[in-house]
Amino acid sequence: MFSKKIFFLGFIMLASGLFAQQSGTVEPEFLKFTNSKWVDSIMKKLSPDERVAQLIMVAAYSNRGEEHRQEILKLIEEQKIGGLVFFQGDPVSQAKLMNDYQLVSEVPLLGAIDAEWGLGMRLDGTISYPFQMSLGAVQNDSLLYEMGQEVARQVKRSGLHINLAPVVDVNNNPGNPVINFRSFGEDRENVSRKGIAYMQGMQSEYILTTAKHFPGHGDTDTDSHLALPQINHSRQRLDSIEMYPFRQMIRAGIGGVMVAHLDIPSLDSSGVPSTLSKKIISDILKDSLDFRGIVITDAMNMKGVTKGKEPGVVDEEALVAGNDLLEFTEDVPRAISEVRKAVKNGLISQQQIDNRLRKVLALKQWVGLDKYEPTSIENMMQDLNNPQAVYLNHQLAEASVTLLNNELLPLRRLDTLKVASISVGAEKQTEFQDYLELYTEVSHFQLPADAGKKQIDSIKEQLENYNLVILGLHDHSKFPRNTIQYSEENREFLKSVFQQKNVITALFKNPYTINDLENIEDSPVLIASYQDSQITEEVAAQLIFGGIGASGKLPVSIGQKFRAGDGISIDGIGRFQYTVPEAAGMNSEILVPQIDSLMQDAISQKAIPGGVVLVARNGKVVFHKAYGLHSYSDTIHVEKDDLYDLASVTKISSALPAVMQLYDQGKFDLQAGIDDYLPYFKNSNKAGVPFRQILAHQARFKPWIPYWQNTLRKNGSFKWNTFQKDSSARFPIKVKEELWLHKNYKHQIFKAIKQSPLEKEAKYKYSGLLFYLLPSIVENLTGDEFRHYIRSEFYDRLGATTLGYEPMERFQLDRIVPTESDFFFRHQVIHGRVHDEGAIMMGGVSANAGLFSNANDLAKLMQLYLNMGEYAGERFISEETLKEFSKVQFPENDNRRGLAFDKPNLEYIGEDNNTAKDASSDSFGHTGFTGTMVWMDPQEQLLYVFLSNRVLPTRENTRLYRLNTRTKIQQALYDAIKTGK
């Protein structure tokens, strides 16, 4: 990456020097081959007719079947054409066809394609980068250079050599029906810089780049595909605006220029299309602008040039006018015949044709066709959709998003917000809405584009319950046209909503539509995303919550509402960014298949029925995937937002953050004992035992107590004063249907803990006893109910809305993954209630177990720990406290534990180690009995969350441990880091 940037900077310095000097031109590199031995050898073989044919490129498709293939083969074999311009299809079929066509061509064929925003413009299954108007908003031009390189690599990989891009028309007409979003914008300097960066990236990979549409197609309201547009500006105006980017690109070394079909009286008063104008092509482009590269026509089947002209005749006129390559010739034999007549009649000389042919052959040699080899089909789709290309797409989308108004972002104090989102122009929940709810609880609504009064009134009524409204304006059309098709009722509704103080508007459409929506400029937050795609919707949601910042600048003016260059820059605040592994220096080609393989192996061996894995590095979630089913006999697939019983991960996720916060406040002393905060424990064998020892599992406490066994009579029935079949004031705690626990049974648990004997030796022995007591200690120290305290102090502020106790109070059962089939206590499948017997007898609320969460929300708390107490710009716990609690406390006693946190074994013990081999000694986390694991490594800023229900159907299933799935996945993260740098 470093070398790429140095290379790019060199180009930029060169380009800057050219701008400053306003003189001199970098000659296209391929011209050095015009008199090469290979070119000479080809020239000698070609007849006069064949020399003309080499200047013709016909349209080819990879989705039209055998008849079309035979037509192209015939043209190649009989007419000896020089190249093909590919349109719709798919890359594998295209490459196979091109191989077939090259096989029968005596002179290697040039292959071209319109890939303005990448191969996705034409080919299925390939990457579409942002449209050029989006790119016009990007402030880091090196990203466009990298895009040029990647697009060039993909064009080559698909067997082609020319990209008919970029568009460098200055779009200064909002009503332009054909350029518009395909332009970098209305500012000639910005268009020039972007065009040069894109061009230099492509040409560094030996792909001919074609600036289009000369002399400038930006200021027209006519589509040249359908008719001949007329541009009535003066020569001075055209020189200073429309032709300016072409001039700069020529000076910077552009290899190709495409000529538009335009009627421009000030340049040629004859009325002929510019494609057929010698004054425009030969006199202006070649002579005045000193362009020595390849001049290519726009498609010769477009109405703007064909009206009143016969196929073949129009091609001859284009060649006579000065074009070097003819694109989309419809009648090749007639075109060759007409050109030969023109030579005979003195309209064009054989020498002129030969000179142009030498340039075309030189281009063929420059792109490597003198050493032609067939294109390999193997792994083509993987190569075209490679991780770096996908990552670059994310970078460009993030860099383009533009904040036009901002009174609210980034959102803070999530605990004070009640959020509603409305996707206008959508029939179902959008990707934008999916990503919004990754940050906090959001209620979603949709309003179709043609919504009527009844639908709108229903939403209006419900909005009264929210203090923040997020609007997403969509139409999900393939291209971001400059019109918006909303019903009048929708428009009136939006008009009023835009003026509210609590509204965020994200426009996933062409920014010109801002001028068509009344009052949108008053929206307290207005985000321009330029187009509607999965990535732009993801990015906008992340901007709203501070996962990323904004740096884009509007590339066009919007009436009187906004000017080109407008855009407010803000930084993210450290909430999760959701992106790809490469964004965090991880290799997705290692990470993804290894995790997939390990999870599928665990599922196939019935170690787990399913699970969720989340990986974050440097605050970026780079992997988040669900696998398998809720249970082996189930048909419910695991979803990423499903809730799992966290088991002992609760120990570091509930009371512990409260204890650390209280420690910061001087209210909790690690040298104090339980009896200092719970007087009930005075005069017990636990009195005076320091919390430091207890939290480090070195206090001689028993590992656990089977509390539920104390409720049984000898005949197996429950004692009358413990459980009843019906609820009542005395028996309010539901353990299962027809099983209600006495309200004071928690005292029996405390009594059992108090009376339990101590182990003989003060050494490491894992114990959960303290964690039954911690909620009461927190309540005594804060004066607040435990659940309310941890939710208000941590979970709500983090936006961790699924993290909590008793999930059935808040969520549908089908979102909660079941755990064990309990045949010895509750005698049922445990589903929706805590698996741990002691925790359920605490009413489901214990610091030992009881928390449920999805992976994403749990990760927010773990990221707080990894950040040493901070998240989203808020300090929750001091850095010193996190470091103290997460370090090994008693290594001299062969005890690896921190304070509640688990740590790696002091010495690595092979496959049975509790962490991956590469986990650092600074790392910390915890595992859970149900098959959960969280782990944080400050050295690599790495976070790992693993959720499963390995105890289904029975806790006796220990295959997950024997397979070491969790630690093997963890090692894959380190492998991905080592190979991703």
Q: What is the mean pLDDT of residues 687-716?
A: 86
In one-letter notation, the amino acid at residue 579 is T
Angstrom distance (rounded) from CA 320 to CA 353: 9
Angstrom distance (rounded) from CA 740 to CA 756: 26
CA nearest to 181, candidates 133, 218, 224, 118: 133
573, 606, 634 — which closes off a domain?
573
Indicate whether 426 and 371 sit together in one domain: no
In this structure, the strands spanning 870-871 and 874-875 are: antiparallel
Asked if residue 91 has a cis previous peptide bond (ω within 30° of 0), the answer is: no
Helix axes 91-104 and 65-74, enclosed angle (nearest 10) = 30
pLDDT digits (tens, 9 = 90+) for 35-45: 999 999 999 99
Which phi and psi (to 5°) does residue 728 adopt? -160, 180
Do 133 and 181 touch, CB atoms closer than 8 A?
yes
H helix intervals, 239-302: 244-251, 278
Q: Say what the pLDDT of residue 13 is.
A: 45
Q: What is the mean pLDDT of residues 805-814?
A: 95
pLDDT at 477 over 90: no
CA distances from 190 to 193, 405, 511, 596 (A): 5, 22, 17, 44
On whether residue 3 sits in a domain, the answer given is: no
Work out the number of other CB atoms within 10 angstroms of the CB of residue 5: 12
pLDDT at 7 over 90: no
In one-letter notation, the amino acid at residue 108 is P
pLDDT at 299 over 90: no
Tokens of 582: 């490469």
Indicate whether 284 and 211 sit together in one domain: yes
Indicate whether 548 and 462 sit together in one domain: yes
869: left (phi over 0), alpha (psi -120 to 50) or beta: left
Do 794 and 800 touch, CB atoms closer than 8 A?
yes
Do 231 and 180 touch, CB atoms closer than 8 A?
no
| DSSP state at residue 637 | B
Which phi and psi (to 5°) does residue 953 adopt? -85, -10
Indicate whether 862 and 972 sit together in one domain: yes
Q: What is the mean pLDDT of residues 449-467?
A: 94
708 Cα distance to chain centroid: 49
Q: Say what the pLDDT of residue 384 is.
A: 97
Tokens of 264: 């421009």
H helix intervals, 301-386: 303-306, 313-321, 332-344, 350-366, 380-384
Do 18 and 46 touch, CB atoms closer than 8 A?
no
Angstrom distance (rounded) from CA 830 to CA 852: 13
Indicate whether 521 and 561 sit together in one domain: yes
pLDDT at 105 over 80: yes
Angstrom distance (rounded) from CA 705 to CA 749: 9
Indicate whether 469 and 546 sit together in one domain: yes
The 3-state DSSP class for residue 17 equals: helix
Degrees, nearest 5: CA angle 303-305-306? 65
Q: What is the mean pLDDT of residues 248-261?
A: 96
In one-letter notation, the amino acid at residue 390 is V
Angstrom distance (rounded) from CA 334 to CA 317: 12
517, 543, 573 — which closes off a domain?
573
The shares of helix, strand and coil residues in the chain, as percent rounded to the nearest 5, are 40, 15, 45
The proportion of the chain whose per-residue pLDDT surpasses 90, expressed as a percent, equals: 85
Q: What is the mean pLDDT of residues 523-549?
A: 97
In this structure, the strands spanning 503-507 and 468-473 are: parallel
What's the chain's Rg over C-alpha atoms? 35
CATH code for position 800 = 3.40.710.10
Degrees, nearest 5: CA angle 313-316-319? 155
On whether residue 278 sits in a domain, the answer given is: yes
CA quadruple 802, 805, 806, 809: dihedral positive or negative?
A: negative
Angstrom distance (rounded) from CA 650 to CA 655: 8
On whether residue 962 sits in a domain, the answer given is: yes
Angstrom distance (rounded) from CA 618 to CA 583: 9
C-alpha torsion angle, residues 422, 428, 432, 434 (rounded to 10) = 110
Domain tally, the chain? 3
Do 558 and 511 touch, CB atoms closer than 8 A?
yes
Q: Average pLDDT of the chain?
A: 94
Q: Measured between alpha carbons, how far apart are the two ends of the chain, in Å?
A: 10
Asked if residue 333 has a cis previous peptide bond (ω within 30° of 0), the answer is: no
Angstrom distance (rounded) from CA 106 to CA 287: 34
CA nearest to 16, candidates 241, 189, 198, 170: 189
pLDDT at 6 over 80: no
Q: Say what the pLDDT of residue 759 is.
A: 92
Indicate whether 606 and 569 sit together in one domain: no
Q: Say what the pLDDT of residue 27 is.
A: 94
In this structure, the strands spanning 874-875 and 83-86 are: unpaired
935 Cα distance to chain centroid: 24
Tokens of 743: 């309200």
Tokens of 175: 């009503």
Tokens of 82: 């020089």
Angstrom distance (rounded) from CA 699 to CA 763: 8
Indicate whether 628 and 751 sit together in one domain: yes
Asked if residue 387 has a cis previous peptide bond (ω within 30° of 0), the answer is: no
Indicate whether 369 and 490 sit together in one domain: no
pLDDT at 23 over 60: no
pLDDT at 160 over 50: yes
Q: Say what the pLDDT of residue 393 is.
A: 97
Which residues is 591 bridged to in the sheet? none
pLDDT digits (tens, 9 = 90+) for 128-156: 999 999 999 999 999 999 999 999 999 99
Q: What is the mean pLDDT of residues 162-178?
A: 93
Q: What is the mean pLDDT of residues 863-877?
A: 98
In this structure, the strands spanning 870-871 and 932-937 are: unpaired
On whether residue 122 sits in a domain, the answer given is: yes
Helices first, then strands: H and E counts in the chain? 34, 29
Contacts of 33 (CB under 8 A, 6+ apart): 39, 361, 362, 365, 366
384, 410, 437 — which closes off a domain?
384
CA nearest to 766, candidates 823, 817, 703, 822: 703
Angstrom distance (rounded) from CA 514 to CA 531: 13
CA nearest to 707, candidates 756, 743, 673: 756
Most confident of 223-227, 345-349, 821-825: 345-349
Give me the domain span that covers residue 671.
591-978
* Size (the chain), residues: 981
pLDDT digits (tens, 9 = 90+) for 717-738: 777 778 888 989 988 888 888 8
Q: What is the mean pLDDT of residues 485-510?
A: 96
Work out the number of other CB atoms within 10 angstroms of the CB of residue 271: 11
| DSSP state at residue 279 | I
Indicate whether 543 and 645 sit together in one domain: no
Tokens of 439: 């940050």
CA nearest to 319, candidates 52, 113, 114: 52
Q: Say what the pLDDT of residue 5 is.
A: 47
| DSSP state at residue 887 | S
Do 967 and 916 touch, CB atoms closer than 8 A?
yes
Work out the number of other CB atoms within 10 angstroms of the CB of residue 439: 27
Where is average pLDDT lowest: 241-250, 745-754, 875-884?
A: 745-754
Q: What is the mean pLDDT of residues 706-725?
A: 76
CA distances from 949 to 590, 602, 627, 652, 960 (A): 26, 12, 12, 19, 10
Confidence band of 981 (pLDDT split at 50, 70, 90): low
CATH code for position 287 = 3.20.20.300
Q: Which helix (H) or strand (E) holds 779?
A: helix 769-782
Which residues is 57 bridged to in the sheet? 83, 327
On whether residue 635 sits in a domain, the answer given is: yes
On whether residue 393 sits in a domain, the answer given is: no
Degrees, nearest 5: CA angle 820-826-831? 45
Where is average pLDDT lowest: 308-312, 520-524, 609-613, 935-939?
A: 308-312
On whether residue 224 sits in a domain, the answer given is: yes
Confidence band of 825 (pLDDT split at 50, 70, 90): confident
pLDDT digits (tens, 9 = 90+) for 187-199: 999 999 999 999 9
Indicate whether 249 and 132 sit together in one domain: yes
Tokens of 716: 């197996």
On whether residue 103 sits in a domain, the answer given is: yes
Q: What is the mean pLDDT of residues 809-814?
A: 95
Confidence band of 93 (pLDDT split at 50, 70, 90): very high
Angstrom distance (rounded) from CA 309 to CA 311: 7
Do 252 and 220 touch, CB atoms closer than 8 A?
no
Indicate whether 379 and 485 sit together in one domain: no
Q: What is the 3-state secondary structure (H, E, C) of 381-400?
A: HHHHCCHHHHHHHHHHHHHH
CATH code for position 516 = 3.40.50.1700
Q: Say what the pLDDT of residue 17 is.
A: 40
